[in-house]
């Protein structure tokens, strides 16, 4: 067999490129006169040709490293290509190279992760908004469906949603954010997950999608805010997922707690659920940073008092009211302590005198940040005072005429009957109205068995009391007899 030699007589052809190196092209042989003229005449074209040539060199290096399974070398080659495009401010070339490198056969996961992370650093350096959106969309398409860059994709979606929101496209921003289910991301930090879900809830509230906002808010358990982060940090065991550190712009857990309850206040305010609003303000009041600063906790405490008074009567509201009255900080706002005492005391309250006393406070509350009280709240306040007075009357009267009830409530007969009927329907009160006779009975009709059982129980208590009294009398007489004999 004849062996063919492919060697060239040109000594320059025998030079080989160093393998594994990332050195750029040697341009020492291009300094002749013709090349210099071309460089002077067409600098932009030469720059593009040089950039493409250097990218080709790095692509060859990346190919060798990838096929050899060299993770560190492949990552370095990919990052160098990103830096080369960024330094040349070739944004279109950068997008093309990101797509090209991600689609290469057998591309290493670590290289794709390094490429996406490196390119994300250039998002804020883009010259205009269109270039920024193109880069974000390119990275988003590359990271779609890849679990090893799911955190990066979530951050990209958040940036894109923020741009949409700044343009006024709230619905599109909300739809973008809802594509990502961060609660399934094991490597994402807890605070970053909570912040992402809260952003989803906020956008849903901004677009007035209250049903979806409630569904998303249920992904966050309020107990997660009570966990001490310092005690929760543990050394990861072998085989466990390594949780990434959250970005610097993510708020702390206590700040997220306040944001969460402020969003819940917006949701409950839409439903006019005053007791839930009050509970949210109570949770904000319990935050350490708020409780230590009187300038922060006094406005919150005033809102707690107002929403407690506005809440319909039920056992939870009564318990909450008693607990709030025991708060020491309430002494700094005595008007509100007096307001709560008037509501909890079983005495008839005159609406006109109460409104004259607290009208200015109520009007000032409308202009306070964080939940203004509207005209409906004033009507609800009057309604709560009427309900309180009806409960007081039912405690002291078993039967009363409808006219006398209307006089005590300072209402007309029709209004008194309407409010009484509403309380009976809502099961806040047991009452019957005899309209022909004009009599209201606050006692429920008892069954004969209940009456008999009640009588038997009372009789048993009476006999026990008589027996104990006889025993005490006998004991005292024996003691005095012993003293006289002595």
- 441's enclosing H/E stretch is strand 439-441
Calpha distance 381→357 (Å, rounded): 13
Token pair for 366: 């409308």
Rg of the chain (C-alpha set) = 39
Alpha carbon separation from 81 to 13, 27, 72, 105, 404 (Å, rounded) = 27, 19, 14, 18, 89
At how many degrees (to 10) do helices 334-344 and 351-366 cross? 130
Query: Cα separation of 143 and 392, whole Å?
Result: 66
Beta pairing class for 439-441 and 399-401? antiparallel
What is the architecture, at CATH level 2, of domain 397-451?
Answer: Orthogonal Bundle (1.10)
pLDDT of amino acid 9? 38
Q: Where are the domains of the chain?
A: 296-395, 397-451
- Tell me whether residue 21 is exposed, middle or buried, using C-beta atoms within 10 angstroms of its C-beta: 0 to 12, 13 to 18, 19 or more: exposed
Element (H, E) at 41: helix 33-41
Burial (CB count within 10 angstroms: exposed 0-12, middle 13-18, buried 19+), residue 441: middle
The strand order across the sheet containing 439-441 reads 399-401, 439-441, 432-434
**Is the Cβ–Cβ distance between 218 and 232 less than 8 Å?**
no
- The DSSP symbol for 169 reads -
- Beta carbons within 8 Å of 45's beta carbon, 6+ residues apart: none
Question: Residue 285 has what pLDDT?
Answer: 92
C-alpha 434/C-alpha 323 separation (Å) is 39
H-state helical runs in 88-149: 91-102, 109-120, 129-143
Question: Of the candidates 118, 109, 106, 117, which has an alpha carbon nearest to the alpha carbon of residue 64?
Answer: 106
Residues 6+ apart with CB under 8 A from 42: none
What pLDDT is stored for residue 233 in this prediction?
54
Query: 118 near 82, Cβ under 8 Å?
Result: yes
pLDDT means per 10 residues, the chain with 486 residues, are: 38 39 40 39 51 86 88 90 89 91 88 91 90 92 88 92 91 90 86 92 93 92 78 53 76 91 91 90 90 87 90 87 89 88 88 86 64 71 91 90 90 90 87 88 79 87 93 88 71
Mapping DSSP to helix (H, G, I), strand (E, B) and coil, where does residue 364 land?
A: helix
CA distances from 227 to 129, 263, 285 (A): 40, 21, 17
Taking the C-alpha atoms of residue 111 and residue 208, their distance in angstroms, rounded to an integer, is 42
State the Cα–Cα distance between residues 216 and 201, nearest whole angstrom. Answer: 6
Please name every residue paired with 440 in a beta bridge, in sequence order, or none if there are none. Answer: 400, 433
**Token pair 């004999």 in the structure block, residue:** 485
Alpha helices, DSSP H, located in 332-447: 334-344, 351-366, 375-396, 402-409, 413-425
Question: Which secondary-structure segment (H or E) carries 400?
Answer: strand 399-401
Residue 137 · residue 160 · CB < 8 Å: yes
Structure tokens at 149: 């860059």
> How far apart, in whole angstroms, are the C-alpha atoms of residue 343 and residue 324?
12
- Measured CA angle at 274 (ends 425, 304), to 5 deg: 135
User: To the nearest 10°, the Cα dihedral for 26, 32, 35, 41?
Assistant: 130
């Amino acid at each position: 067999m004849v062996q063919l030699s492919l060697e060239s007589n040109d000594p320059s052809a025998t030079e080989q490129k160093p393998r594994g190196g990332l050195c750029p092209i040697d341009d020492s042989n291009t300094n002749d006169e013709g090349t210099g003229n071309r460089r002077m005449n067409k600098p932009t074209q030469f720059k593009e040709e040089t950039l493409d040539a250097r990218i080709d060199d790095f692509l060859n290096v990346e190919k060798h490293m990838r096929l050899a399974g060299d993770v560190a070398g492949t990552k370095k080659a990919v990052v160098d290509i990103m830096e080369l495009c960024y330094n040349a401010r070739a944004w279109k070339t950068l997008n093309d190279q990101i797509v090209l490198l991600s689609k290469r056969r057998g591309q290493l996961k670590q290289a794709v992760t390094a490429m996406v992370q490196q390119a994300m650093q250039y998002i804020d350096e883009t010259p205009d908004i269109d270039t920024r959106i193109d880069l974000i969309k390119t990275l988003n398409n590359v990271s779609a469906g890849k679990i090893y860059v799911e955190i990066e994709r979530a951050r990209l979606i958040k940036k894109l949603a923020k741009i949409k929101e700044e343009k006024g496209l709230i619905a599109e921003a909300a739809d973008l954010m809802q594509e990502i289910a961060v609660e399934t991301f094991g490597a994402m930090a807890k605070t970053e997950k909570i912040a992402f879900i809260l952003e989803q809830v906020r956008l849903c509230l901004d677009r007035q999608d209250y049903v979806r906002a409630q569904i998303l808010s249920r992904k966050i358990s309020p107990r997660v805010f009570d966990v001490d982060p310092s005690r929760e940090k543990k050394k990861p065991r072998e085989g466990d997922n390594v949780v990434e550190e959250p970005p610097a712009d993510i708020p702390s857990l206590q700040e997220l707690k306040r944001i969460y309850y402020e969003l819940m206040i917006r949701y409950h305010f839409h439903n006019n659920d005053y007791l839930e609003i009050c509970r949210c303000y109570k949770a904000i009041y319990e935050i350490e940073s708020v409780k230590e600063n009187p300038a922060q906790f006094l406005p919150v405490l005033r809102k707690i008092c107002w929403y407690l008074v506005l809440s319909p009567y039920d056992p939870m509201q009564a318990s909450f009211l008693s607990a709030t009255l025991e708060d020491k900080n309430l002494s700094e706002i005595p008007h509100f302590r007096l307001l709560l005492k008037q509501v909890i005391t079983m005495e008839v309250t005159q609406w006109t005198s109460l409104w004259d006393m607290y009208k200015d406070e109520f009007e000032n509350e409308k202009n306070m940040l964080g939940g203004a009280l509207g005209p409906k709240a004033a009507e609800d306040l009057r309604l709560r005072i009427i309900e309180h007075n009806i409960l007081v009357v039912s405690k002291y009267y078993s039967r009363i005429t409808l006219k006398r009830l209307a006089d005590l409530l300072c209402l007309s007969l029709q209004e008194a009957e309407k409010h009484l009927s509403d309380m009976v329907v809502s099961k806040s009160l047991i009452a019957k109205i005899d309209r022909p006779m004009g009599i209201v009975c606050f006692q429920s009709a008892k069954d004969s068995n209940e009456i008999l059982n009640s009588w038997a129980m009372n009789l048993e208590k009476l006999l026990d009391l008589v027996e104990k009294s006889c025993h005490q009398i006998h004991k005292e007489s024996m003691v005095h007899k012993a003293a006289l004999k002595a």
